[in-house]
Amino acid sequence: MNPSAEILRAKADWVWRETLAIHRRAPETRIASSLSPIEIFVALYYGGVLRFDPREPLAAMRDRCIISKGHGSICMYPILADLGFFPKEELLRVCEKGSFLGGIPDPVIPGYETLNGSLGHGLGVATGIALGLKRRGSARSVFVITGDGELHEGANWEAIMFAAHHGLDNLHVVVDNNEISMLGHTADIVAHGSLVLKFAAFGWDTEEVDGHDVALVQSALLAQKEVADGRPKLLVARTLKGRGVPGLENAPLAHIMNPKPALLDILLEAHT
Amino acid sequence: MSMKPLAMRDALLERIWHEMATNPDIFFASADFGSPVLDKIRADYPARFVNVGIAEQNLINISAGLSLEGYTVFAYAIAPFITMRCYEQIRVNLALLAEARQLNVNLIGVGAGYSYVVSGPTHQCYEDITLMRVLPNMQIFSPADHVCAAALLERCVVETGPKYIRLDAQPLPVIYTGGAPDMERGFHVHRHGARVVFVATGYMLHTGIAVAEQLREAGEVVGIIDMFDLARFNADALAVALSGYDIIVTIEEGFSGRGGLDALLRTFTVRHCLKARMLCIGVEPAYRFDLGTRLDLHELVGIGPAAVLRAVVEMLATLEASAGTKREVESL
């Protein structure tokens, strides 16, 4: 029995607050990019989508989750701590000497699989993992969480073609489609047009949802996971960069903006 | 004893094909690059073969992903493309990831140096030793004949981590007619010399041997060392092998003074307090569009047998001049 929409919503709100709290203590972390994918991660980790074992993060039984937008996944720190991948006290030491929780996550963190500080690498490596699982006859799935900005990297499209050709229906790509990269809206930089149409033209199964409706994200992912029709799967999650933070939400330069500590204190107080 | 030379790639791929029969973890990935032996691999083990197309970035990423799932991967493409088109994929998803995860990915690059003679500078490769050497965790192998190339199989399978194997595209005369050298040692002493030792890698071992022959006829017996492992060779043994020489000559089919075999040996001699002078022979750093035979091109860029012989003779003259000076100083 998967958790109800109310429980997932409450969890997402808690993750939002914890992510702000981490950023309040460690302003080096990228806050705006880490607020847009919260519901995606909550649906994956609490919504019964991913199989995992916090006591054995690299267990063969796990579904592989490749977080390609590494910098924009600080919200995973409270999630992984909450699920028991590491002690919650670690959240108080982000970016400090001796901590394994850095400004950009590395695979020294229990629960992280690969290196994703450099963008546009996750999808290709995930495709290799998906091919390996298929060739070994494993039923496990691979999920990739990518930003839309990093889809400007050409290596992604090599993997997108490859995955469709090899029928990797165990591969899921979830795009945190906040439509903003570092210097503005992607539509003004190099427009993607419709990612759904593009991926569909490459032979992928595609869905698009409101990426902040955690129950919708959950049901879309669960439905896609059920299907094995030889097509890899894309879920475009429409999201807002910097969601819920006044002045930051959907600001073109949100990536490089840090909310003032006083504002963070007010928000944290209000959401206690 | 003469022995028919094979293409290095076919000799190594033949070993891989045999290994695949008993080792279910071997996976072979190609970036649309073939060989007669590759046809056997493709036909006999289709579930452990993939052609990613002309897409070297994806070749590396797919190989990294396969290796994370426990495969020992051989990734195969033309040397400049498998090293430079996808350099950041190699850095991040192989060299760096190997710090945190157990990986075994073996990059086979065909076309070392000028071996694609008339294809011009895009297909020739004079930067790979330098670029692979700078990456921590990366091993580099550079065999001089097909026997040595084939013998790399064991190290590729047994030793984890990323590796780069630079192979010549042309069949080269067989050096190791009596069998492969001690592969663990990483280098092989072919011949001991008096004052001068050549340290060469890949194709240039053959040039070194030819020049040494000319010098021997002129009365100078030169030592010859084949450096087929450019990362994890036995350092103590190499220090012993190089001790006592007055001149160490490095010979490589790569840019000189840019961090290749010459830099490796310079750093090594300093670290091991070797007193020898060094003469570093490599490709004059420039891109050129000249056509001709491989030997023509080598002479143009300063690494042909005539150029090497000239440089060594000059170096010997300098050594003798300074030794003379020294004797004069002592006699005063």
CATH number of the domain residue B61 falls in: 3.40.50.970
Question: Side chain identity at A3, as an amino acid letter?
Answer: P
Pairing of strands B187-191, B222-227: antiparallel
Question: Side chain identity at B213, as an amino acid letter?
Answer: E
Residues of A in contact with B65 (CB under 8 A): 124-132
Tell me the pLDDT band of A53, cut-offs 50, 70 and 90: very high
Q: What letter does residue B191 receive in the DSSP assignment?
A: E
Co-location of B66 and B152 in the same domain: yes
Reported as a single tens digit per residue, the pLDDT across A77-102 is 999 999 999 999 999 999 999 999 99
Give chain A's length: 272
* Residue where one domain finishes, among candidates B104, B137, B167: B167
pLDDT, average across residues B52-75: 98
> What is the total count of domains within chain B?
2
Co-location of B27 and B123 in the same domain: yes
* Minimal CA separation from B56 to chain A, in Å: 9
pLDDT, average across residues A119-125: 98
Q: Using CB atoms and an 8 Å cut-off, which of residues 98-127 of chain B contact chain A? A: 100-101
pLDDT, average across residues A28-34: 97
CA angle B262, B266, B272 (to 5 degrees): 140
In this predicted structure, the answer to whether residue B331 has a pLDDT above a threshold of 50 is no
Looking at residue A3, what is its pLDDT?
82
pLDDT, average across residues B304-312: 98
Question: Side chain identity at A186, as an amino acid letter?
Answer: T
Looking at residue B45, what is its pLDDT?
98
Q: What is the CATH number of the domain that holds A174?
A: 3.40.50.970
Q: Are the C-beta atoms of A109 and A80 separated by less than 8 Å?
A: yes
**Among A149, A66, A74, A63, residue whose Cα is nearest residue A105:** A74
Residues with Cβ within 8 Å of A237's Cβ and at least 6 positions away in sequence, in order, are A37, A39, A40, A174, A175, A176, A177, A208, A209, A210, A211, A217
Average pLDDT over chain B, rounded to an integer: 96
List b or e across A170-199, with b for residues whose CB sees 16 or more CB atoms inside 10 angstroms.
bbbbbbbbbbbbeeeebeeeeebeebbebb
Residues of B in contact with A125 (CB under 8 A): 61, 64-65, 68, 93
Instruction: Judge: A121–B100 Cβ closer than 8 Å, yes or no.
Output: no
In this predicted structure, the answer to whether residue B323 has a pLDDT above a threshold of 90 is no
User: B32 — alpha (psi -120 to 50), left (phi > 0) or beta?
Assistant: left
Segments forming the whole domain that contains residue B276:
187-325
And the tokens for A117? 């500080």
Nearest to A131 among B66, B89, B96 (CB): B66
Q: Are the C-beta atoms of B195 and B230 separated by less than 8 Å?
A: no
In this predicted structure, the answer to whether residue B328 has a pLDDT above a threshold of 80 is no
For testing contact with chain A, the best of B50, B60, B66 (most A CBs within 10 A): B66
Q: Using CB atoms and an 8 Å cut-off, which of residues 143-182 of chain A contact chain B? A: 154-155, 158-159, 161-162, 166
And the tokens for A65? 């989750």
* Residue where one domain finishes, among candidates B137, B167, B197: B167
SS3 call for B62 = helix
Looking at residue A2, what is its pLDDT?
75
> What is the total count of domains within chain A?
1
Looking at residue A1, what is its pLDDT?
59
Tell me the pLDDT band of B332, cut-offs 50, 70 and 90: very low
Looking at residue B2, what is its pLDDT?
72
Residues with Cβ within 8 Å of B137's Cβ and at least 6 positions away in sequence, in order, are B94, B95, B96, B98, B99, B161, B162
* Exposed/middle/buried for residue A14 (C-beta within 10 Å: 0-12, 13-18, 19+): middle
Q: Are the C-beta atoms of A119 and A153 separated by less than 8 Å?
A: yes
Looking at residue B40, what is its pLDDT?
97
* Minimal CA separation from A248 to chain B, in Å: 31
Instruction: Judge: B93–A121 Cβ closer than 8 Å, yes or no.
Output: yes
The separation between CA A22 and the C-alpha centre of its own chain, rounded to angstroms, equals 17
Is residue B173 situated within a structural domain?
Answer: no
Co-location of B23 and B156 in the same domain: yes
Residues with Cβ within 8 Å of B317's Cβ and at least 6 positions away in sequence, in order, are none
Q: What percent of chain B has pLDDT over 70?
A: 97
And the tokens for B61? 């990423």
Q: Could you tell me the end-to-end alpha-carbon distance of chain A, in angstroms, rounded to an integer? A: 29
Co-location of B217 and B83 in the same domain: no
In this predicted structure, the answer to whether residue B1 has a pLDDT above a threshold of 70 is no
Instruction: Judge: B65–A166 Cβ closer than 8 Å, yes or no.
Output: no
Is residue B30 situated within a structural domain?
Answer: yes
Cα–Cα distance measured from residue B214 to residue B210, given in angstroms and rounded to the nearest whole number: 7
The separation between CA B185 and the C-alpha centre of its own chain, rounded to angstroms, equals 15
Q: Are the C-beta atoms of A157 and A149 separated by less than 8 Å?
A: no
Is residue B174 situated within a structural domain?
Answer: no
SS3 content of chain A, % helix, strand, coil (to 5): 45, 10, 45
Q: Is A61 an 8 Å CB contact of chain B? A: no
Looking at residue B325, what is its pLDDT?
61
Q: Is B93 an 8 Å CB contact of chain A? A: yes
Cα–Cα distance measured from residue B312 to residue B307, given in angstroms and rounded to the nearest whole number: 9
Nearest to A124 among B62, B69, B101 (CB): B62
Q: Are the C-beta atoms of A73 and A105 separated by less than 8 Å?
A: yes
Residues with Cβ within 8 Å of A172's Cβ and at least 6 positions away in sequence, in order, are A141, A142, A143, A144, A221, A224, A225, A232, A233, A234, A235
Residues of A in contact with B100 (CB under 8 A): 106-108, 115
**Among A113, A76, A106, residue whose Cα is nearest residue A91:** A76
DSSP H helices in B109-158: 128-133, 146-151, 153-158
Q: What percent of chain A has pLDDT over 70?
A: 100
Residues of A in contact with B55 (CB under 8 A): 158, 162
Q: What is the CATH number of the domain that holds B268?
A: 3.40.50.920
Residues of A in contact with B63 (CB under 8 A): 128
In this predicted structure, the answer to whether residue B326 has a pLDDT above a threshold of 60 is no
Co-location of B222 and B90 in the same domain: no
Q: Looking up tokens 């896609």, which residue turns up? A: A224
Residues of B in contact with A159 (CB under 8 A): 58, 61-62
In this predicted structure, the answer to whether residue B327 has a pLDDT above a threshold of 90 is no
Segments forming the whole domain that contains residue A90:
5-270
Q: How many CB atoms lie within 10 A of CB A142?
A: 29
In this predicted structure, the answer to whether residue A213 has a pLDDT above a threshold of 80 is yes
In this predicted structure, the answer to whether residue B308 has a pLDDT above a threshold of 90 is yes
Co-location of B207 and B273 in the same domain: yes
* Residue where one domain finishes, among candidates B134, B167, B200: B167
Question: Side chain identity at B88, as an amino acid letter?
Answer: E
Co-location of B15 and B89 in the same domain: yes
Question: Side chain identity at B237, as an amino acid letter?
Answer: A
Question: Side chain identity at B82, as an amino acid letter?
Answer: I
pLDDT, average across residues A249-270: 95
Reported as a single tens digit per residue, the pLDDT across B158-196 is 999 999 999 999 999 999 999 999 999 999 999 999 999
SS3 call for B139 = strand
Co-location of B101 and B196 in the same domain: no
Q: How many CB atoms lie within 10 A of CB A98?
A: 5
ipTM score: 0.97
Cα–Cα distance measured from residue A132 to residue A115, given in angstroms and rounded to the nearest whole number: 19
Cα torsion B225, B231, B233, B234: sign? positive
In this predicted structure, the answer to whether residue B71 has a pLDDT above a threshold of 70 is yes
Average pLDDT over chain A, rounded to an integer: 97
Co-location of B295 and B231 in the same domain: yes
Is residue B79 situated within a structural domain?
Answer: yes
List b or e across B263-287, with b for residues whose CB sees 16 or more CB atoms inside 10 angstroms.
bbbbebbeeeebebebbbbbbeeee
Is residue B199 situated within a structural domain?
Answer: yes
Instruction: Judge: B93–A161 Cβ closer than 8 Å, yes or no.
Output: no
SS3 call for B213 = helix
Reported as a single tens digit per residue, the pLDDT across B185-232 is 999 999 999 999 999 999 999 999 999 999 999 999 999 999 999 999
Instruction: Judge: A133–B88 Cβ closer than 8 Å, yes or no.
Output: no
For testing contact with chain A, the best of B48, B54, B61 (most A CBs within 10 A): B61
Cα–Cα distance measured from residue B229 to residue B268, given in angstroms and rounded to the nearest whole number: 14
Nearest to B48 among A115, A135, A161 (CB): A135
Is residue B1 situated within a structural domain?
Answer: no
Looking at residue B330, what is its pLDDT?
45
And the tokens for A215? 């129950």
- Our separate counts of H helices and E strands in chain A read 10, 7
User: B71 — alpha (psi -120 to 50), left (phi > 0) or beta?
Assistant: beta
Cα–Cα distance measured from residue B1 to residue A265, given in angstroms and rounded to the nearest whole number: 83
